[in-house]
Amino acid sequence: MDPLFDFDRIIDILKVSYDTGPTPSVTLISDTLHDPYHVLVSTIISLRTKDQVTLEASRRLFAEADDIYTLQRMDEQRIAELIYPAGFYKTKAANLKRIADILINEYGGQVPDSIEEMLKLPGVGRKTANLVMILGFDKPGMCVDTHVHTIANRLGWVNTNTPDKTEFALRDLIPQKYWKVLNDYLVSFGQRVCVPVSPFCSKCGLNDICRRNGVKKSR
């Protein structure tokens, strides 16, 4: 077997790295508030926002709107105040308000458990929909953010130019038993080792198999 595709070994290496680092904010929230509503809302807040900001903003919002019905009744300006300084907080507040209306009026107050239905919600893309499937519903999903997209291409697993294309390529490549953990593991790895610019190849556990596609400088 080509060691680049020895996923049992690779996942073990990524897990060791993940276990020694901070847990991603949305995963932390889902560990304590394990339901689709909290995962969906916190994931929307997390877009283009640092983890610690996401965690604090989500906790402030949930302290006042712990369910979809309370969120629907909340003033949009108040939502924005609570999630500030998350990136694009005003747009996210407007989307959260609209999502509450849609979920209550069209889905009986429940987050739909399919990617196709979630993609109909404002501000929800494939990354968010897949993460809700994984953390909110405990179903298989392939959540691809910038870290996953970059590392999958850098390693040589795929040759794609968008996260959506990477998602579908990885769905065909990675055994489904690893789908749920792949995002958490690669996000953590991408924040601490395989960083976007000048990655720490000298301390990377995958250094012996990585093709370093696109890497011009490393440490």
- C-alpha 190/C-alpha 51 separation (Å) is 13
Taking the C-alpha atoms of residue 130 and residue 136, their distance in angstroms, rounded to an integer, is 10
What per-residue confidence (pLDDT) applies to 1? 76
Whose tokens are 């579908």? That residue is: 168
State if pTM tops 0.85.
Answer: yes
Out of 1.10.1670.10, 3.30.70.20, 3.40.50.970, 3.90.230.10, select the CATH number for domain 3-22+142-203: 1.10.1670.10
b/e string for 152-181 if b means 16 or more Cβ within 10 A? bbbbebbebeebeebbebbeeebeeebbbe
Q: 87-90 — which CB contacts under 8 Å span 24+ positions?
A: 87/47, 87/48, 87/49, 88/47, 88/48, 89/57
Q: Do the domains 33-136 and 3-22+142-203 match in fold? A: no
Residues of the chain with pLDDT > 70, as a percent, come to 100
pLDDT score at 7: 97
Per domain, the residue ranges of the chain are 3-22+142-203, 33-136
Q: Which of 26-30, 41-45, 119-123, 161-165 has the lowest mean pLDDT?
A: 26-30
Based on C-alpha coordinates, what's the Rg of the chain?
A: 18
We find that the CATH architecture of domain 33-136 is: Orthogonal Bundle (1.10)
What local confidence, expressed as pLDDT, does residue 179 receive? 97
What does the pLDDT average to over 34-40?
93
